[in-house]
Every structure is written in C-alpha cells, then in structure tokens.
A and B are shown apart, each in its own frame.
Chain A
Amino acid sequence: MLTDLTGHRVILSMAYTRCHNTCPATLNELQRMQKVLDGRGEQASFVIVGYDADNDDPQSWHLYRLNHRLDRPNWHFLTGTARNVRRLAQQLGFEFWNYDTHVMHESRVVFFDSKGLYSGAVSPATGDWTALL
C-alpha cells in the first residue's frame, strides 16, 4: 500500500481513533504542514497509520475523518494487522505500548521524498518541522 505512494512526497504519522489528546494535536500539526504546502503550491501525501489495530478499522477512520474534517483526498488513514502495524512502527521509530485503555505513544512525523527515501523525522510537539517540509 505504501509503495502506491511512490512518486509523491509522503508525510507519515501514527495515531489512534480513541486518542483525544496527543493524536489530535499531531494531526493539527499535519494540517499546518498541509497549509504551508498549499501556500507553496506543492503536493504531498499525508499518511496516518492506526496504532490500535483492534479499533482503528476503516469504518472508525471514516468517522474520524468526518468528525475531524480531514477529508482531503491526499490524506490516507491506514489500518493493518497488529503485527504489521508493530513492524512498521519499529522500522519508522514509532514506539508505542498499550496501557489500560490507552496507547502510550509519542508524537512523531516521518518525511519521505518522492522517491520513497527517508528524509527526516521530527516530534511536532517539540521540534521544528519547517526545515523538513
């Protein structure tokens, strides 16, 4: 699925639909990135992968998109098996674990260029992403 995005710049983060604190803040930062790109007339694909494979099914993401007004076609909300999600997270440096009803995780965004090559990562909660955009 991710290989389908080759040819576009990709900005990838992880989130889960039940998160009402960190994830909305991260997505808000992604929206700010989108605005900057729009201002420059540049294209990018935004990819959000669900941490919680049990709950983040396509229907949940669909509702999430509607509720959070994240309906642009270049925004992709992906779900996968728990194993694949964990593998992807490990490869991209997203650390997470389940605690009670939450997923303990950091705010992190990874950038890929149009060839699919990694070009950097940042924590939008504390870091400046403008240099990577």
Chain B
Amino acid sequence: MPRTTMNFSRYRMGALALVAVAIAVLPSAALSATGKQDPELAEMQNKLDQSLQMIQALTERVRELEAKQAAATAAATPPAAPPAAPVVADNSRLEAAEQKLDQLEKENASRTADDTGLPLHGFADVGVGTHNPINPALKGTYVGNLDFYLSPRLGDHTRALFEMNTEVGSDGTVGVDLERAQIGYQFNDQATLWVGRYHTPYGYVNTALHHGSWINNTLRRPRFLQFEDNGGIMPAHTVGLWLTGSTHVGGGKVLYDFYAGNSQEIFGGVLDMRNAGNTNGHMGGGARLAYQFSSGTAEGLMLGVHAFTARIGDNAMPANATRVLAYGGYAVYDTDQWEDIAEIYLFDDRDINGGSGTHRSNAGFVQFGYRATWGVPYARYERTVLEQTDPYFAALEGGGSYHRVALGARFDLDLKSAVKLELANTRLTDRSLEQYSEGLVQYAIRF
C-alpha cells in the first residue's frame, strides 16, 4: 500500500503543480496587463481563460486517474514515473503537461497484477509413478506440493521472505507449513542479518532450492537431503538468526554464512525445528564458507565447506540426546550448459545420555546435469552410510543407509511448466536389505 500512496502523491503533485502554475502565472499576467486596456490585453485575458480551462480539464483528468488507481486491486511499483508536470503558462506547455498525463494514463493501462508490491509466486506439482517419490510404499498418482512464495517489497534495507507450502502426507492428509518466515536487515551487499525460520545454510541444494519442484531441474532432492517431514537426516530448517553475505575477492566472490538457532528435536522419527522455541533452551548453529569463481576457465565453479552442530534430543522413553556434528564440503559447476553438484557430509555424533560414545557416519551425492536445447538430462548417485547405533540416526525415520542411482530428464513445455522423468534404483543397506526400482513422472508448474 505505501506504493499506492506514493503514486497518488506523485499524481497529486502533478495536479498541485498545475494549480500552482495557475496561481503563479495569473498575477504576473495581471501585472503585465495593468494599464493596457487595449486589444493586446483582451487577447492575453483570452489566453489566460483558455489556460485556466485547460488547467481545470487537466486537474479533472488527474482526479480521474487517481480514482482509477484507487480502484485498482494492484498497488504498484512506480514504473519510473515521468517528472511532475512542468511549471508553465502558455498553451504549448500545457499541451506538454497533457502529454505527460497521457503517459500516466498509459501507466495505469499497463499496470498489471505483478505490480502489487507483494510479489507472490506459486509452484505446484503432481505426478505418477511406480512409487511415490517420497514414500516408496505408495504407488500410482500423487499430488505433490502447492507452494506459495512471497517476497514483499519493503524499505531500502528490510527484506522479507515467506514460503507457505501445502503438501500431502503419506496418509493422504493435506498439511500446510510455513516453511520459511524470515525478516532481515540488509546492511549492504556484504551483510544481511535474518531472523526467523530459514533454510539452514549447509551445502548448496538446501538454500539454492525451495519447496517448489519447478525450480529444481531434477524430479526430487537427494533422499538424505529431503525436508524433515520427507525423511531428511539434516535439519533443513533452523529457527534463529542468520548472518549472510558475499564480497568480491580476486576473480570471484566469497560467500559466508553464520547462524545460530533453536536446537532441533526429534518427534515421531521426524526432525522438528522448534518454531516457537524449545523447552530446554539448547542452541544449535554452524557456518558455511564458499568461493564462487566469476572469471577465467573456472567461471561457474563454486567450492565450499560447511559445519553444523546441535544438541538434538528425541521423545523416546528414556529420551536420547546427541551432540550432532556434521561437516563437509561441496562443489557446484553451474553454467549455461552444466549444472553439476556434489556434496559430502561427515558426521561425528556423540551420544550424551546413553554413553555409547562417538559415532561416525557419512552421506553424499554427485549429480551431473546438462542444459541441452531440448531439455536437461541428469544423472545422480547418492549414498549414505549411517551408523545405526548412533541414537540420532536410530531415532530418525529416514535414518537408514542406502545407495541410489537415478537417471532423469527435465523437459520444459513452456516458460512456466515442465515435465520431468526419472528412473531410479534404490538399495537399502542396513535396516532392511530391500531394493526397488522406480519410474517417475512429474508435471511441475510455476505461476
């Protein structure tokens, strides 16, 4: 709404300028007319009358435009507005002012739903497959996510990002999650401090992709990097503070992240990020540091390291508590042709309550994607070796080890919709020794 106010003010200023013109011009015209009771004066008076009529007409036009704008549901980004109406007295200049107002009228005509001051983007997907891509026990057609992504326009320094996601659970029920709710202060391009619920900055995928499937070239995230309620083993979300930024160094950019927030807890086998705070007051946090090459042969390459730690308990009886320490690195090669990603996570978890000591595990994936003219074919290999005596992984529903090979392709039907196909083979390697193959199709859109 402030945008609307701004525009109204601008238009009103245009009208006021015209009125001011009239006020300013009339006395001078009158003075110049003093003592000249001749045809020249009559002509001047006539011109002034014409001017006043035009001013009145233009003022009416401004009112009309204001009324139109007030009626519009969309409040606006002010498209680089033309300057206020010029301060003029003669007809030709008034005509120029009229042209300016015509421009304003065009602006109103071209104003679109996008110019709302509250950019809202939506993403949705549905699919069919031999298995559900998240829960392999389910087969057939599935409804995926309906994701709304909002980044309201605020002041010069305040930023906000909200993401509401509607998804269907394994039992078919529909749930709505406020996946991201973060408000931040951008000091400059080098530093922004966010507060709220954000995607935990580790690796590349977790912050590069949101919940909308369309934005992802692959049909789904690596299994171990899925969101918490989809079986992920890392806390994809943190509720807390996050300082992030980047700075130009050499031929590239250094990107950094430091964050701290509520320690996650495990309820019913699923990580919970404790949106409202936790009862034990424990904190978790971590850091990420990356270098993005911006020139030379390495242009498009980004190399990074990351670390995360938190004291994570569960609701078992008696409750377990683990000091989770995850660290690792990642590499991304993202160009017009290639989208190659590799991430590795090493776990060094310490059992706090059970006294079973320290447990080491690892997880990682490597993915190659090629942006061809006809689509984006990709191949991915992912593997986890998760220590089952680690109370952290033992408590997680998705904490079993596995290998997966996936081949797929994305086909963009138009600018806003894509079909993705994936063939995958998954082998579970500890909790059960099951192996299954999947053929999946996803139809994803943005709007």
* A95, CB-defined interface residue at 8 Å: yes
Interface locus among B18-26, B103-111, B135-143, B223-231: B103-111
Report Cα–Cα, A18/B186, bound state, in Å. 22
Residues of chain B contacted by A131 (CB below 8 angstroms): 109-110
Report Cα–Cα, A108/B112, bound state, in Å. 11
Interface locus among B8-16, B74-82, B345-353: B74-82
Closest to A57 in B: B295
Closest to A54 in B: B248
Q: Digit string of A82-112 for contact with B (CB within 8 Å is 1, else 0)?
A: 1000000001110101111110101110100
Assess whether B112 is in contact with A127, with CB atoms less than 8 Å apart. Answer: yes
Report Cα–Cα, A101/B211, bound state, in Å. 17
* A60, CB-defined interface residue at 8 Å: yes
Assess whether B114 is in contact with A107, with CB atoms less than 8 Å apart. Answer: yes
* B189, CB-defined interface residue at 8 Å: yes
Assess whether A21 is in contact with B151, with CB atoms less than 8 Å apart. Answer: no
- Closest approach, in angstroms, between the C-beta of A35 and any C-beta of chain B? 15
* A63, CB-defined interface residue at 8 Å: yes
**Most chain-B CB neighbours within 10 Å: which of A64, A122, A128?**
A122
> For chain A residues 42-60, which have a beta carbon within 8 Å of chain B?
54-55, 57, 59-60
- Residues A127 and B113 in contact in the complex (CB < 8 Å), given A28-B415, A95-B153, A106-B119: yes
Name the contact of B371 in the complex, choosing from A20, A82, A95 (C-beta under 8 A).
A20
Interface locus among A2-10, A72-80, A113-121: A113-121
Assess whether A18 is in contact with B114, with CB atoms less than 8 Å apart. Answer: no
* B253, CB-defined interface residue at 8 Å: yes
Assess whether B110 is in contact with A121, with CB atoms less than 8 Å apart. Answer: yes
Residues of chain A contacted by B294 (CB below 8 angstroms): 54-55, 57, 60
Size category of the B interface is 35 or more
- Residues A127 and B114 in contact in the complex (CB < 8 Å), given A18-B334, A98-B246, A101-B302: yes
Report Cα–Cα, A59/B251, bound state, in Å. 13
Name the contact of B207 in the complex, choosing from A57, A97, A100 (C-beta under 8 A).
A100
* A132, CB-defined interface residue at 8 Å: yes
Report Cα–Cα, A48/B390, bound state, in Å. 54
* B276, CB-defined interface residue at 8 Å: no
- Closest approach, in angstroms, between the C-beta of A78 and any C-beta of chain B? 16
Assess whether A121 is in contact with B114, with CB atoms less than 8 Å apart. Answer: no
* B292, CB-defined interface residue at 8 Å: yes
Assess whether A97 is in contact with B336, with CB atoms less than 8 Å apart. Answer: no
- Residues A64 and B112 in contact in the complex (CB < 8 Å), given A97-B186, A106-B119: no
Assess whether B110 is in contact with A118, with CB atoms less than 8 Å apart. Answer: no
* B115, CB-defined interface residue at 8 Å: yes
Main secondary structure of the interface of B (DSSP, over half): loop
Assess whether A120 is in contact with B107, with CB atoms less than 8 Å apart. Answer: yes
Name the contact of A64 in the complex, choosing from B151, B255, B336, B339 (C-beta under 8 A).
B336
Residues of chain B contacted by A68 (CB below 8 angstroms): 336
* B71, CB-defined interface residue at 8 Å: no
Assess whether B110 is in contact with A100, with CB atoms less than 8 Å apart. Answer: no
Assess whether B78 is in contact with A126, with CB atoms less than 8 Å apart. Answer: no
Residues of chain A contacted by B300 (CB below 8 angstroms): 18
* A25, CB-defined interface residue at 8 Å: yes
- Closest approach, in angstroms, between the C-beta of B80 and any C-beta of chain A? 4
Residues of chain A contacted by B299 (CB below 8 angstroms): 60
Report Cα–Cα, A56/B208, bound state, in Å. 20
Residues of chain A contacted by B72 (CB below 8 angstroms): none
Report Cα–Cα, A13/B104, bound state, in Å. 20
Name the contact of A110 in the complex, choosing from B79, B109, B292 (C-beta under 8 A).
B79
Residues of chain A contacted by B315 (CB below 8 angstroms): none
- Residues A122 and B112 in contact in the complex (CB < 8 Å), given A93-B79, A100-B201: yes
Closest to A88 in B: B80
**Most chain-A CB neighbours within 10 Å: which of B82, B114, B302?**
B114
Closest to B293 in A: A55
- Residues A100 and B114 in contact in the complex (CB < 8 Å), given A118-B79, A131-B109: no
Report Cα–Cα, A111/B371, bound state, in Å. 31
Residues of chain B contacted by A108 (CB below 8 angstroms): 77, 114
* B159, CB-defined interface residue at 8 Å: yes
Residues of chain A contacted by B53 (CB below 8 angstroms): none
Report Cα–Cα, A93/B77, bound state, in Å. 6
Assess whether A126 is in contact with B80, with CB atoms less than 8 Å apart. Answer: no
Assess whether A120 is in contact with B336, with CB atoms less than 8 Å apart. Answer: no
Assess whether B79 is in contact with A82, with CB atoms less than 8 Å apart. Answer: no
Assess whether A99 is in contact with B161, with CB atoms less than 8 Å apart. Answer: yes
- Residues A93 and B80 in contact in the complex (CB < 8 Å), given A55-B294, A67-B337: yes
Name the contact of A122 in the complex, choosing from B110, B151, B295 (C-beta under 8 A).
B110
* A36, CB-defined interface residue at 8 Å: no
Residues of chain B contacted by A100 (CB below 8 angstroms): 201, 207-208, 244, 255
- Closest approach, in angstroms, between the C-beta of A115 and any C-beta of chain B? 11
Can you list 19 A-B contacts with CB-CB less than 8 angstroms, sorted by A residue number?
A17-B336, A20-B334, A20-B339, A21-B215, A29-B415, A55-B253, A64-B336, A93-B78, A99-B161, A100-B208, A100-B244, A101-B208, A104-B161, A106-B114, A120-B103, A122-B110, A123-B114, A126-B114, A132-B110
- Name A's B-contacting residues (CB within 8 A): 17-18, 20-21, 25, 28-29, 54-55, 57, 59-60, 63-64, 67-68, 82, 91-93, 95, 97-102, 104, 106-108, 110, 117-123, 125-129, 131-132
